Chains A and B, each alone.
Chain A
C-alpha cells in the first residue's frame, strides 16, 4: 500500500513535470510576444535575447493614440479601425449564424424531410476544404457582386466558419431534449413556435452561449478571408497587424502590442466560459 502510494506520488511528479514542460513550450511564443510588447525597440533587436528589461507602454500608446515613438517616427496607425472592424465583422457573423443556424439545427434534430442528411453534411463540408482552396473563386465572385472590401461581404464569407459549427453543435443539444417534453408542450396548447421558443430554446441556452463563444473565437482568429476579400477599410485586426511590416522597417514592438490586444477578447471569453466550453463541445460531439 505504502509502496503503491510512493509510486503514485513519483508518478504524479513526473506527470506534473511533463505537463509543465509542455506548458512552457506551448506558451513561450505567447510570453515572448507579451514581453516584446513592453520592450523598447533597442531591447527587441538586441542580439542576445533580453529577459530583463525596463518595461514601457510606448508601443501601446503608439498604436492606440498614434504619435511619436522615441526612436522612429510613427504615423497614425489604423489599429483601432482594424480592431473595430474585427468586432463588427465577428459579432455580426456570429449573430447571423445564430439567427440562421439555430432554426436549421432544430429542423435537422427534430423533423424528417428529404435530403436531410445531405443538407447536414453540406453544412459540415464547409469546414473540410481549406479556406485558401476556395478563396480565388470567392474573390472573383466578390469583385463582380461588389462585395469586395465590404462588411456585408466579410460577414457573409465568415458564415463558412461559424455556421457549420453552430448548426452541428446545437443540433446535438436539441437532440438531447426528450421528444416527449416537446410533445407535452404541444398538448399543453402550444404551436410549434411556442414549443420552440418556450421549451426548446431555453433548454439549449447554456449550449447556445458556449457555442456562440466558440464560433466567435474561430471567426476572430481568421486571417485569410480578411486578407484577400478586405482592404484597408475593412481589414480585421489579424490582418491589420501585418501593417507594421513596412518596406523600410518592421515595427516589432507595436506589432507585438497589437497582437496582445487582438488576442484579449477571445482569451477573456474563453476564460469566462471555459467550464461550459469543454462540456458544450463534448456534448455536441457525442450526439452529432
Chain B
C-alpha cells in the first residue's frame, strides 16, 4: 500500500519560483506521469517527493503520513536519475548492492547476493556485474540505475526521464519493459518525462506541468481528447494540433468563421447556440491533423485550399494545406499530392475543439465526453 499526495506544494529557489502550488494524488500501484517541457518544475517536484529538496510551502503525504521533514534516507522511495548517477568507483554489482547494505535495509551477505542476482536476471545485466559504470553503454547504465532502484524494493519508485537519453529503438523497448516491471513488482511509480508518447503509453494518470503550474490532470485519453487548454493540446500529439483563430457567427446553427487574407472559411460550431459563452466572440479552433479529411475532388463540400508542402512518412503523409493565410497540417494515408494542387478539407463537428482566444481554456470541457472518443 503506498500513495503519494501533494497539497499546494511550492518550491522557490531564491526569487525563482520553480513550482507554484501544485496538488495531485498518486494512487497505490499506479503509474503517474508528470509531463512538461524543460523548466516546468518536473524534476524539482520529484526531488521534493524524494526528500532531496526542501519544500518551500505545502504538504506531501506518503501513505497518509506527512513527510515534509523526513530525510530522504528514511523515506521508502527509490529514484532513477536523469543522469543515472551511478557510483563511478563501484562495480555494477556493488552499485546494485549499495542500497541493500545501508542501515535502513541491512541485508546480510547471502540475501544481498540473492537480491542482486534476481534484479540482474530480470534486467538481463548479469554479464555486466563485474564492470565499472564507465565501461557501460547508455542503455546498460540505464538498466543498472533501474536495477539499483528496484533492488531496494521501495514502495514508491521515482523515475526522472529514465529513457529519454536512449536511442529511439531502445527507448521503445524500455518503455515496454518498464510497464512489465511495474506490473510484476506492484509498486507505485511517478514518472517524469517531456515525451508525451512515454506518458500516454505508460501512465494511468498524466499531470501536465508548465512553469510550475499544473495545466491538467487526467487519464491519457482525457488529456489527449479533451485537453484543458491550448498548452496541453499543443504539447500532446505529433504533428501538432492546428489552432486557427475564428469568430463565432451567431446564426440559428452557430458557425465559426475564420477570416484570413483575402478569403474566409467556415466550420461547424461544436457548441449549440445556448451554450456559447456570453461575450466570447473570438475563439481558437483546434483540429488534430488526423481529423482533417483531404479530398482532391473540388466539387465536394469543405474548405478550399491548396497544397503547400507534403512529407512522405511511409504509411502516412504529413501534408500542409494553405487556406487563406493559414497553414493547416493534415495527416493522411493518401500520397501523391502535388505542390500547389487545389484541394478541399473536411472536418466533422465532433472533432473540433474550441479554446478561448484570451485564456486558452478549452470551452467544451464542461460537456460530457463524446462516446466515440472514449478515454
| A contacts, CB < 8 Å to B | 178, 180-181, 183-191, 194, 198-199, 202-203
Contacts and interface: CB of A to CB of B under 8 A. Distances in A.
A67 to B, nearest CB: 53
A1 to B, nearest CB: 39
A188 B89 contact: no
Nearest to B83: A180
Given A181-B85, A189-B73, 19 more contacts: A178-B83, A180-B85, A181-B88, A183-B47, A184-B79, A184-B81, A186-B52, A186-B71, A186-B72, A186-B73, A187-B73, A187-B99, A188-B78, A188-B148, A189-B99, A189-B105, A194-B102, A199-B87, A202-B89
B88 A188 contact: no
Given A190-B103, A191-B73, A194-B103, A185 B87 contact: yes
B87 A190 contact: no
Interface in B5-57: 47, 50-52
Contacts of A178: 83, 85
A33 B369 CA distance: 95
Contact of B77 (A181, A187, A190): A187
Contact of B98 (A180, A188, A191, A203): A188
B104 interface: yes
A132 to B, nearest CB: 43
B103 A188 contact: no
Contacts of B143: none
B45 to A, nearest CB: 15
B99 to A, nearest CB: 4
* Interface size band for B: 20 to 34
A203 B73 contact: no
Main secondary structure of the interface of B (DSSP, over half): loop
Given A186-B52, A186-B72, A180 B81 contact: yes
B344 interface: no
B138 to A, nearest CB: 16
Contacts of A198: 98
A113 B217 CA distance: 38
Contact of A189 (B47, B81, B83, B104): B104
Contacts of A202: 89
Contacts of A203: 88-89
B152 interface: yes
Nearest 3 A/B pairs, CB to CB:
A189-B102, A188-B99, A189-B104
A187 B98 contact: no
A264 B276 CA distance: 92
Contacts of B50: 183, 187
A190 B85 CA distance: 15
A183 B52 contact: yes
Contact of A183 (B75, B81, B86, B88): B81
A188 B102 contact: yes
Nearest to A195: B73
Contact of A181 (B71, B75, B87): B87
Contact of A185 (B51, B75, B98, B103): B98
Counting chain B CB atoms within 10 Å of each CB, the highest count among A180, A185, A189, A199 belongs to: A189
Nearest to A181: B85
A68 to B, nearest CB: 57
Contacts of A187: 50-52, 72-73, 75, 77-79, 99
Contacts of B102: 188-190, 194
Contacts of B148: 184, 188
Contacts of B52: 183, 186-187
Interface string B171-194: 000000000000000000000000
Contacts of B83: 178, 180
A198 to B, nearest CB: 8
A186 B104 CA distance: 11
A244 B50 CA distance: 67
Nearest to B154: A187
A228 B81 CA distance: 56
